[in-house]
């Protein structure tokens, strides 16, 4: 039996239930990723389970769940298909000694001095298409010198280097023309660009380093593990049994995490070209950037795909001949739910009896057709044997009253 609790007339947008709540909260605020979900949601869910738990997040993102779990003294485990996100989550949950923090502070000052004096040379420019749309030429020059200096002042993969690299990532965005006034990352208009080009660039990096080091001084008490893996194949990405799952998977809205993360990934050598970006997005659930979009045209649903009459009706409406790219987007939605069906099936093999799962997810629309993601998730959980399945609306996502974020939960009884 699935319980639907919506009461949409009382819903608010609740900025505290978005990434905005994380921005000034220690390590949770180290880097901004617009699709990231709120620490406040995670904290409220963890607080319902007072006993020590093994907490799992199969869609790591920026590591919100695993970091919150270890701060509560629990064991946190997470996985992500994106190597940059896996690296970043490991940096967030690591314990740092006072000596390592002091060393990072000294290394920051040395790197700034070397970059200003051009004493360390210049790193190769990242292969970002139309890079000067992102950064002014003088900014690019400074960032390349700073990156070269960081390689001199701190050993690769050392705690100091990881902390300074996080600060470098903060500087990349602070000094860029990127804007966050839309659902996904965009660019500032021409009137805003002069302001973005007049920063004291060294001061921006120094300020970012101070913020990162303050968070680094607040070590968690629990144990965390971050692995690189595909959440559709759970036995390969998680070991042991979990008592609690708190996660926010990608939504069926064509927002690409690769697209949102590309400045970090190119500057840190996690991406070398657009084809690699498209390949990674094709593997990720919900990804449609680059070659991932073109492949959807030839994609066919497998014989063991997830079928449910409400979903079939949605796919038929989206694929209508009246809709431009309707067939392509119908395939996108079908593949999204087939991938999530694979994920849920694999997840059951990693759950302890009585485990509770919470999926924070939003619905979406295509050509005016509502995709009831929360109800389709609930149907999947029910088919697999979860009990007490519930869909609870928790906030409006924007001015469109039909777009809502839900907590889809259930209890594993097998």
pLDDT along the chain (414 residues), means of 10: 62 72 85 82 88 89 95 94 97 98 98 94 94 93 97 97 98 86 60 55 97 97 94 79 95 87 94 91 89 89 94 96 92 97 95 96 95 97 96 82 91 88
* Per-residue model confidence (pLDDT) at position 48: 87
Q: Distance between terminal CA atoms of the chain?
A: 16
CA distance 214 to 101: 9
**Residues 212, 232 share a domain:** no
**Residues 392, 335 share a domain:** yes
* Per-residue model confidence (pLDDT) at position 258: 86
**Residues 160, 54 share a domain:** no
CA distance 159 to 94: 8
**Residues 77, 10 share a domain:** yes
Final residue before a domain boundary, out of 216, 246, 268: 216
* Per-residue model confidence (pLDDT) at position 12: 75
Strands lying side by side in the sheet with 223-228: 2-5, 386-396, 404-412, 351-362, 242-247, 54-57, 75-80, 223-228
- pTM of the shown model: 0.92
Nearest to 229 by CA among 77, 67, 335: 77
**Residues 398, 251 share a domain:** yes
**Residues 107, 88 share a domain:** no
Final residue before a domain boundary, out of 165, 197, 216: 216
Q: Is the dihedral of CA 118, 120, 213, 131 positive or negative?
A: positive
Which letter does DSSP use for residue 289 in this model?
S
Final residue before a domain boundary, out of 174, 198, 216: 216
Nearest to 339 by CA among 299, 309, 366: 299
CA atoms within 13 A on the CB side of 331: 16
Element of type H or E holding 357: strand 351-362
Helix (H/G/I), strand (E/B), else coil: 38: coil
Q: For 219, list phi and psi in degrees, rounded to 5.
A: -75, 140
**Residues 83, 228 share a domain:** yes
CA distance 360 to 221: 26
Query: In this structure, how many other beta carbons lie within 10 angstroms of the beta carbon of residue 117?
Result: 10
CA distance 145 to 122: 4
Nearest to 120 by CA among 103, 144, 97: 144
**Residues 160, 307 share a domain:** no
**Residues 334, 241 share a domain:** yes
What CATH code is carried by the domain that includes residue 356? 3.40.50.150
Q: What angle do CA 192, 196, 198 make, to 5 degrees?
A: 120
Q: Where does 214-287 show beta strands of DSSP type E?
A: 223-228, 242-247
**Residues 195, 78 share a domain:** no
**Residues 149, 53 share a domain:** no
- Widest Cα–Cα separation across the chain: 68
CB 341 within 8 A of CB 398: no
Give the domain range for residue 352. Answer: 2-95+222-412
**Residues 336, 243 share a domain:** yes
Domain total of the chain: 2
């Amino acid at each position: 039996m699935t319980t639907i609790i919506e009461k949409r007339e009382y819903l608010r947008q609740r900025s505290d239930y978005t990434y905005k709540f994380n921005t000034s909260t220690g390590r949770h605020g180290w880097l901004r990723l617009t699709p990231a979900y709120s620490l406040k949601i995670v904290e409220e869910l963890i607080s319902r389970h007072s006993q020590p738990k093994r907490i799992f997040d199969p869609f790591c993102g920026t590591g919100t769940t695993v970091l919150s779990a270890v701060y509560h003294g629990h064991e946190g485990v997470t996985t992500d298909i994106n190597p940059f996100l896996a690296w970043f989550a490991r940096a967030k949950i690591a314990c740092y000694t006072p000596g390592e923090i002091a060393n990072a502070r000294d290394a920051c000052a040395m790197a700034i001095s070397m970059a200003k004096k051009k004493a360390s040379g210049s790193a190769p420019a990242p292969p970002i298409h139309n890079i000067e749309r992102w950064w002014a030429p003088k900014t690019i020059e400074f960032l390349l010198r700073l990156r070269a200096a960081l390689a001199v002042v701190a050993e690769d993969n050392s705690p100091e280097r990881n902390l300074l690299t996080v600060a470098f990532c903060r500087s990349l965005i602070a000094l860029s023309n990127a804007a966050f006034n839309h659902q996904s990352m965009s660019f500032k208009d021409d009137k805003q660009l002069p302001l973005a080009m007049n920063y004291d660039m060294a001061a921006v990096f120094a300020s970012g380093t101070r913020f990162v080091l303050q968070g680094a001084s607040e070590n968690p008490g629990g144990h965390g593990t971050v692995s690189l893996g595909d959440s559709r194949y759970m036995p390969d990405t998680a070991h042991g049994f979990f008592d609690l799952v708190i996660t926010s998977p990608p939504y069926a809205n064509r927002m690409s995490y690769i697209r949102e993360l590309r400045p970090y990934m190119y500057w840190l050598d996690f991406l070398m070209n657009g084809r690699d970006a498209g390949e990674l997005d094709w593997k990720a659930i919900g990804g449609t950037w680059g070659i991932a979009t073109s492949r959807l045209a030839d994609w066919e649903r497998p014989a063991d795909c997830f079928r449910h009459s409400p979903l079939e009706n949605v796919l038929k409406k989206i694929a209508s001949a009246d809709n431009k790219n309707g067939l392509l987007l119908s395939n996108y939605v079908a593949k999204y739910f087939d991938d999530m069906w694979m994920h849920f099936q694999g997840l059951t093999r990693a759950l302890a009896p009585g485990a509770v799962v919470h999926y924070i997810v939003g619905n979406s629309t295509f050509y005016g057709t509502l995709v009831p993601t929360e109800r389709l998730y609930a149907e999947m959980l029910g088919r697999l044997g979860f009990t007490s399945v519930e869909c609870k609306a928790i906030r409006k996502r924007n001015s469109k009253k039909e777009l809502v974020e839900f907590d889809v939960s259930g209890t594993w009884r097998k």
